[in-house]
């Protein structure tokens, strides 16, 4: 739980809170030696509050309005709390890893080792020569394709000349 500012003003009281406060004072005057059972006491107070007329409640509502004015004035003087960003300690210990992520982390470590091994093998063999192997076949196919296009163009030109 966050620490409360000791200079911050007390909260505003509602009309019902003032009513319960006066009920408690009356109860203490009538029965000073009997301790108050709060559950029963609050039930009786709430029943009395519901049965009260608006005129009777207005006394407590006026007290609540006055307290609201006091609270607003004190809060205006108090001002907003300016919180700075907390700097994280770089030497603070890290949390333990989640159990859910552990199988994935293990798999990632194995894949990383395999990748590093493959890269090392590739570098040890030297650079790949692009003139050998499959690229020649691709070049030959492209040449055949170009020859077919030229023959089709020649046939089209001959047909145009005949017309």
Domain 15-78: CATH architecture, name and number where available: Orthogonal Bundle (1.10)
pTM equals 0.46
Q: Using CA atoms, how far apart are residues 135 and 18, in angstroms rounded to an integer? A: 92
Lowest model confidence (mean pLDDT) among 6-15, 16-25, 99-108: 6-15
Every domain of the chain and the residues it spans: 15-78
Distances (CA, A) of 85 to 6, 79, 93: 21, 19, 20
pLDDT above 80 (res 19): yes
């Amino acid at each position: 739980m966050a620490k409360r500012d000791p200079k911050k003003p007390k909260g505003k009281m509602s009309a019902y809170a003032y009513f319960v406060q006066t009920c408690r004072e009356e109860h203490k005057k009538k029965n000073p030696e009997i301790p108050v059972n709060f559950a029963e006491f609050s039930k009786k107070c709430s029943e009395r509050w519901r049965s009260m007329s608006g005129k009777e409640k207005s006394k407590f509502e006026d007290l609540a309005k006055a307290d609201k004015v006091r609270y607003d004035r004190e809060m205006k003087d108090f001002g907003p709390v300016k919180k700075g960003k907390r700097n994280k300690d770089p030497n603070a210990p890290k949390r333990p890893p989640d159990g859910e992520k552990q199988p994935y982390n293990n798999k990632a470590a194995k894949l990383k080792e395999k990748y590093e091994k493959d890269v090392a093998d590739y570098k040890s063999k030297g650079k790949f020569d692009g003139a050998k192997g499959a690229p020649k076949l691709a070049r030959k196919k492209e040449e055949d394709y170009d020859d077919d296009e030229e023959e089709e163009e020649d046939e089209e030109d001959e047909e145009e000349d005949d017309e």
